[in-house]
Structure 1
Amino acid sequence: MKKTLLIALLALSSLTAAAREVKVGVQCTYPPYNFKDPSGTLKGFEVDIARELGKRMKTDVAFVCMAFDGLIPALLSKKIDVIASSLSITETRRKSIDFSVPYRASTARFVGRKGGGVQPFKPDGTPNPAALKGKVVGVQRATTNDSYLAGEFPGVEINRYDSAENLLLDLVAQRIDVALVGPVKVEMDFLSKPEGRNFEFVGPELESRKYFGDGVGVGVRKEDQALLGEVNSALKGMFADGTYKSINQRYWSFSVLPAVWK
């Protein structure tokens, strides 16, 4: 009888483990990081990273699509378990959630029309808000780019967008003059394509730790320290055994891994 009961308990335990699921919050509209192809299949660098995390953590992964500015509220309300959607690790965000070790560098850059003459920075590299007077600057809402623009370019007229795609559409349509964007995405998905042929980066790449933090990480609720430990262990394993590099090379010929892990 005891033996039968033990077997039943082991079987139940195995079934429970197999049924474990982690809900991952993503934008689903931010190629090449997370997006749906024409057939509706979710793809992208962060989707691949999240799926690999699931394999290593021995858990199913369910992706939940939502607007970027809804990700942290959804995490805190337990609608999702983690965020894997280009969320930069900043001190402000650390007040409400915890982060994994960084899995991608976080930088920003202005992009504008070729020959537009816009110079957002002084010769010494400091921000020059006066150069954007009378201009309209576009940025994705609730991002670190948004915080940087509001903090370092006071008084500048800002249009905020729910997605990078809508931001770039308005840049092409000349409804905004310049945009502050993630350079890796924009170089691959805009400047290198026909629709971006009349545009270029304006000014240097921005690496302000105050605004852009230590890189991009997986967001986790503060009370879920066991889950955070699993995520960190899985990420570090991917860095060490070459899996991360293999995923990286599906999208770029250069590494997007923060310098601390290279």
Structure 2
Amino acid sequence: MLKHLVIAAGLMGAFASGAAARDIRIGSECTYPPFNFRDAKGELQGFDIDVAREIGKRLNANLIFVCQQWDGMIPALLAGKFDLLLASMSITEDRKKTIDFSVPYRSSTARFIGPKTLKVSPVAADGKPNPAGLAGKTVGIQRSSTYEQYMTKEFAGAKVAQYDTVDNMLLDLQSNRIDLVFAGPIKLDGDFLQKPRGEKFSFIGPEINDVSYFGPGVGVGIRKADSALRDEVDAALTASFKDGSFKAINDRYWSFSVLP
């Protein structure tokens, strides 16, 4: 009888534990290595994905990943297609009018890259944008991104080519269809310049850290109505920063910290 009670208690405990777990849907681009992408087996991998899984573990949640094109990311979140947005999205004042963000978990800056033989000066000696330095050149930017906003306002009149993904514009850069690419330096360095395909290219000009465009960093996007979930995500991220779990994720991808 006692044995049966022990087994029953164990089953009830397992059931209760399983019932306590909840489903949380995560929206991500799924085409942006090394942050979020599918590997050769079709499995989702990357820095953003690992951060999402760490959050899910701390929230005792079953994660369901939803792949979404970048330019429809915020509308899909607002429409309830997913609950959290983890897609290397910068926290900006414009976006905060529509959605909330967690505390930042990655820095957010920008930089130009182009052929090593290219002689241009997109940034002046005083650190200000220099549109004249890009005369006659075409710059690749990702559509609906902070980089597009920056180029449109700070390089008015510059010739730009818009792309759905960073990888597609890097392919055009390699094929000489465009002259430069303007995007996040962590992505450009680790996934392009440090690989054989990027050996003929380099950063051009200094890193651009304009908080008015690129915000204080990258965060998890959350609907404004889900303030309780936002607080849980903040607590999970903050705890991972303190106990070394986040550093372990960081170190899988880079030899330096990407925290702002």
Query: TM-score if structure 2 supplies the norm length?
Result: 0.93
Identity among equivalent positions (%) equals 54
Q: Distance in 1 between matches of 2:250 and 2:183?
A: 20
Determine the structure 1 residue equivalent to 2:240.
238
Please show how residues 104-123 of structure 1 align to structure 2 within 5 Å.
104-123=106-125
Q: Aligned residues, how many?
A: 250
Question: Tell me, what secondary structure is at the counterpart of 1:110?
Answer: strand
User: Are positions 1:17 and 2:20 aligned together?
Assistant: yes
- The answer for the alignment partner of 2:170 in structure 1 is 168
C-alpha separation in 2, matches of 1:168 and 1:134: 19
Matches of 2:42 and 2:18, distance apart in 1: 30
For the residue of structure 1 that corresponds to 2:190, the secondary structure is: helix
Note the alpha carbon deviations across 1:27-53, whole angstroms, 9 max, x for none. 111111111111101100110100010
SS in 2 for 1:62: strand
RMSD (Å) for aligned C-alpha atoms? 1.6
> Equivalents in 2 of 1:27, 1:89: separation in Å?
17
Q: Distance in 2 between matches of 1:37 and 1:129?
A: 39
State yes or no: 1:250 paired with 2:257. no
> Does the residue aligned with 1:103 lie in a helix, a strand or coil?
coil
For residues 164 and 14 of structure 2, what CA distance do their matches in structure 1 show? 46
For residue 214 of structure 1, the aligned residue among 197, 213, 216 is 216
1:204 to 203, 206, 227: 206
Q: What runs of 5+ residues in structure 2 fail to find an aligned partner? A: 1-8
SS for the counterpart of 2:118 is coil
* Residue number among 60, 63, 71 corresponding to 2:62 in the alignment: 60
Q: CA deviation at 1:112?
A: 0.6
Equivalent AA in structure 2 for residue 176 of structure 1? I
Instruction: Give 2:38's aligned residue.
Output: 36
Q: Distance in 2 between matches of 1:210 and 1:129?
A: 19
Determine the structure 2 residue equivalent to 1:3.
none
- Partners of 1:146 and 1:200 lie apart in 2 by 21
Counting only pairs closer than 5 Å after superposition, residues 47-126 of structure 1 correspond to structure 2 as 47-126=49-128
Whole-angstrom CA distance in 2 between matches of 1:246 and 1:237: 13
Instruction: Indicate yes or no: 2:125 matched with 1:131.
Output: no
Report how far residue 17 of structure 1 moved.
Answer: 2.4
Partner residue in 1 for 2:4: none
1:15 Cα shift?
5.3
> Aligned partners of 2:125 and 2:228: how far apart in 1?
48
SS at match of 1:93: helix
| Cα distance in structure 2, aligned partners of 1:94 and 1:79 | 19
Shift, 1:14, TM fit: 5.6
In the superposition, the TM-score normalised over structure 1's length comes to 0.92
Range with bigger deviation, 132-141 or 97-106: 132-141
Deviations along 1:238-258, one digit per CA (max 9) or x if unpaired, are 001000001100100100011
Instruction: Read off the aligned partner of 2:83 and give its amino acid letter.
Output: D
Q: Which residue of 1 aligns with 2:157?
A: 155
Structure 1 unaligned blocks of 5 or more: 1-6
* Structure 1 counterpart of 2:3: none
Give the whole-Å Cα distance in 2 for the aligned partners of 1:12 and 1:193. Answer: 48
Distance 1:79 1:41 in 2: 20
